[in-house]
């Protein structure tokens, strides 16, 4: 869309003798020599009119929409465009220099040259599509004869920043991808700053080469910040700059969120669970914590259950100790009675008293 607007502006610009494909690739003196013998015939007779010839060249090569469209070649093909145009007009310059010819001859020969140029120029490679929203897209540049220059897609070099979230100790990757085709010989420079920024002076280079992928095997809080990748051509011209804002979620928070996920599923009412968002290893939105009143009620219930359990355990231990004490008392009393009877019997025997009657 942007390229189309640029070309419409290019085509709609007011034309003068100093613009157009002819004046991009032809010397003005050659045009003047070719038009010097242009002869006009009317009721007053015949006379030469170089200005009328230049107007004819203007209408055929400068303001003609077919010529302008055919000349919209891709970057690097303006040289071929020049060769085609000069190949059609220079023979006419040599033929008409120092000669006079009628306007009909000029019109016929110049019209044929214009049609040949349009047909041949249309076969040259076209510019590729412009891919928003960023990057210096070399293949998207289109030649504009109205201004004798290329018009690029004119997007910003800096691309919008991308948010990246990852759990602590997890692996994460950032890829320096763009939507438009890249040259085969590029250099990729990765930079880092421990804060959210797009100021180049705050970013420090961490690696350079051809790798579009940057990996962090085990993320930690030290990895949080801004990562920038900048792509260069072999000549050192920047093509695009991409930014990544990395956030590392602590392991304790990740564990809490996983427990909360289980907790909310256990507390679902009548088989209907509240919506739960999980946290992946590559990061994601944080879960919503339960309300304070729900947490308080659950903790109070757990503490009460623990207290009742401890009280029951203590009561059970007391009953067991009391029962054992009572049993031991009965056994001790029976032993004393037996000892007394045995001792009494022994003493009666020693005195010569008949034990059976006394007992």
HSE (CB half, 13 Å, CA atoms) of 181? 9
pLDDT beyond 60 at 281: no
Same domain, 192 and 73: no
Amino acid 232: pLDDT: 97
Nearest-angstrom CA–CA distance, 277 and 267: 16
Nearest-angstrom CA–CA distance, 141 and 126: 9
The domain boundary, picked from 223, 251, 279, lies at: 251
The domain boundary, picked from 251, 278, 311, lies at: 251
- Cβ atoms of 213 and 172 within 8 Å: the answer is no
Same domain, 179 and 126: no
Chain-centroid distance of CA 100 in Å reads: 66
CA distances from 243 to 73, 88, 118, 231, 255 (A): 33, 50, 44, 12, 29
Same domain, 108 and 207: no
Helix (H, G, I), strand (E, B) or coil at 43: coil
Same domain, 188 and 236: yes
pLDDT per residue over 17-46, tens digit each? Answer: 346 889 899 999 999 999 999 999 888 889
pLDDT per residue over 331-351, tens digit each? Answer: 555 545 444 444 434 444 433
**Neighbour tally for 155: CB within 10 Å:** 19
Closest to 226 measured CA to CA, from 249, 206, 203, 201: 203
Amino acid 3: pLDDT: 47
Number of domains in the chain: 2
Nearest-angstrom CA–CA distance, 293 and 97: 99
pLDDT beyond 60 at 160: yes
Same domain, 166 and 129: no
Helix (H, G, I), strand (E, B) or coil at 10: helix
Nearest-angstrom CA–CA distance, 213 and 37: 66
Q: Name which residue leads in pLDDT, 302 or 204.
A: 204
Residue 9's pLDDT band (boundaries 50, 70, 90)? very low
Q: What is the arithmetic mean of pLDDT over 153-178?
A: 95
CATH number at residue 171: 2.60.40.10
Highest mean pLDDT among 94-108, 267-281, 314-328: 94-108
The domain boundary, picked from 251, 283, 304, lies at: 251
Residue-range definition of the domain harbouring residue 230: 162-251
Amino acid 333: pLDDT: 56
Residue 290's pLDDT band (boundaries 50, 70, 90)? low
Same domain, 180 and 242: yes
Highest mean pLDDT among 207-216, 288-297, 322-331, 346-355: 207-216
For residue 293, the surrounding DSSP H or E stretch is helix 292-350
pLDDT beyond 80 at 88: yes
pLDDT beyond 90 at 6: no
**271 assigned to some structural domain:** no
**337 assigned to some structural domain:** no
Q: What is the percentage of the chain residues whose pLDDT exceeds 90?
A: 56
**186 assigned to some structural domain:** yes
Same domain, 169 and 129: no
Residue 63's pLDDT band (boundaries 50, 70, 90)? confident
Same domain, 183 and 127: no
Q: Name which residue leads in pLDDT, 336 or 65.
A: 65
Same domain, 129 and 24: yes
Ranking 42-46, 158-162, 283-287 by mean pLDDT, the lowest is: 283-287
**346 assigned to some structural domain:** no
**345 assigned to some structural domain:** no
Same domain, 129 and 168: no
pLDDT beyond 70 at 280: no
**119 assigned to some structural domain:** yes
Nearest-angstrom CA–CA distance, 85 and 148: 13
Helix (H, G, I), strand (E, B) or coil at 71: coil
pLDDT per residue over 207-265, tens digit each? Answer: 999 999 999 999 999 999 999 999 999 999 999 999 999 999 998 765 555 666 676 77
Nearest-angstrom CA–CA distance, 192 and 203: 5
**182 assigned to some structural domain:** yes
DSSP 8-state assignment for residue 304:
H
Same domain, 111 and 21: yes
Same domain, 197 and 245: yes
Ranking 16-20, 119-123, 175-179, 199-203 by mean pLDDT, the lowest is: 16-20
**359 assigned to some structural domain:** no
**Neighbour tally for 70: CB within 10 Å:** 22
For residue 226, the surrounding DSSP H or E stretch is strand 225-233
């Amino acid at each position: 869309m942007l390229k189309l607007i640029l070309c419409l502006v290019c085509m709609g610009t007011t034309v003068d003798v100093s613009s157009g494909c002819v004046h991009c690739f032809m010397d003005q003196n050659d045009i003047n020599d070719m038009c010097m013998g242009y002869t006009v015939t009317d009721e007053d007779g015949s006379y030469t009119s170089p200005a009328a010839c230049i107007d004819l060249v203007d209408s055929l090569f400068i303001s003609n929409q077919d010529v302008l469209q055919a000349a919209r070649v891709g970057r690097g093909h303006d040289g071929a465009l020049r060769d085609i145009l000069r190949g059609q007009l220079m023979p006419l310059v040599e033929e008409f220099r120092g000669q006079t010819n009628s306007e009909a001859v000029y019109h016929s020969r110049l019209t044929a040259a214009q049609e040949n140029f349009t047909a041949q120029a249309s076969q040259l490679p076209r510019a590729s599509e412009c891919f928003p929203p960023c990057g210096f897209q070399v293949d998207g540049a289109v030649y504009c004869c109205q201004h004798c220059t290329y018009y690029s897609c004119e997007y910003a070099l800096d691309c919008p920043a991308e948010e990246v979230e990852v759990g602590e100790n997890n692996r994460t990757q950032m890829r320096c991808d763009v939507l438009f085709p890249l040259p085969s010989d590029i250099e990729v420079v990765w930079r880092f700053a421990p804060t959210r920024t797009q100021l180049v002076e705050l970013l420090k280079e961490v690696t350079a080469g051809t790798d579009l992928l940057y990996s962090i095997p085990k993320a930690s809080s030290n990895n949080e910040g801004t990562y920038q990748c900048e792509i260069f051509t072999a000549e050192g011209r920047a093509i695009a700059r991409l930014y990544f804002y990395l956030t590392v979620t602590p392991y304790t928070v990740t564990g809490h969120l996983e427990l909360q996920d289980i907790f909310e599923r256990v507390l679902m009412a009548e088989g209907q669970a509240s919506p739960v968002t999980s946290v992946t290893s590559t990061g994601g939105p944080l879960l919503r914590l339960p309300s304070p009143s729900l947490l308080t009620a659950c903790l109070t219930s757990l503490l009460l259950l623990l207290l009742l359990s401890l009280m029951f355990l203590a009561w059970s231990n007391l009953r067991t100790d009391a029962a054992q004490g009572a049993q031991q008392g009965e056994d001790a009393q029976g032993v004393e009675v037996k000892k007394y009877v045995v001792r009494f019997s022994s003493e009666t025997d020693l005195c010569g008293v008949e034990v059976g009657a006394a007992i």
